[in-house]
Amino acid sequence: MAESGGRRIGVAVDFSECSKKALNWAIDNLVRDGDYLILITVAPNMNYEEGEMQLWETVGSPLIPLSEVSEASVMKKYGVKPDAETLDIANTASRQKSITVVMKIYWGDPREKICEAAEHIPLTSIVIGNRGLGGLKRMIMGSVSNHVVNNVACPVTVVKSHH
């Protein structure tokens, strides 16, 4: 990927409304022709005996082309079920812009795994949604976006979700 010179824009997607908003923001404001749009998904830990996930437990999945992300049978191997709206947003962007869209799946704590993606891929920048938790909920649950902002070397854009 690095040889072609395109930027590697990572977007954290968990198929929620706020991650779709972040994906749309990245496509509308950041991604340009020749870039790689990397959808970073963190799935919960699973029973690894039944799938191919144990091969990639520590390093994440290989980069999965968008055409394969759209196939339910392929995604079942990884234990991930992308929603139709997220796939539509990515497919539309792929058709309308000269970009390559791929997905990278990790398993575990989203805070740590998104930071790992930034370092190991390596990403030029990351776009992440923010659910807008109040102070108490954020203190108890932790903020993924806050952790990523404070622990990666590349630029991070946090797209706030307004209710």
Predicted confidence band of residue 140 (pLDDT cuts 50, 70, 90)? very low
Residue-wise pLDDT tens digits, 21-47: 999 999 999 999 999 999 999 987 765
Q: Tell me, what's the pLDDT at 163?
A: 55
Distances 94 to 25, 26, 36, 89 between C-alpha atoms, Å: 15, 13, 10, 9
In eight-state DSSP terms, residue 80 is -
- Rounded average pLDDT over 65-93: 92
User: Left, alpha or beta for 102 (phi > 0: left; psi -120 to 50: alpha)?
Assistant: beta
Alpha-carbon torsion angle 56, 62, 68, 72, nearest 10: 10
SS3 23: helix
pLDDT over threshold 60, residue 49: no
Domains of the chain in start order, with CATH, are 2-160 (3.40.50.620)
Mean pLDDT (the chain, rounded): 86
Distances 162 to 17, 18, 141, 150 between C-alpha atoms, Å: 10, 9, 19, 22
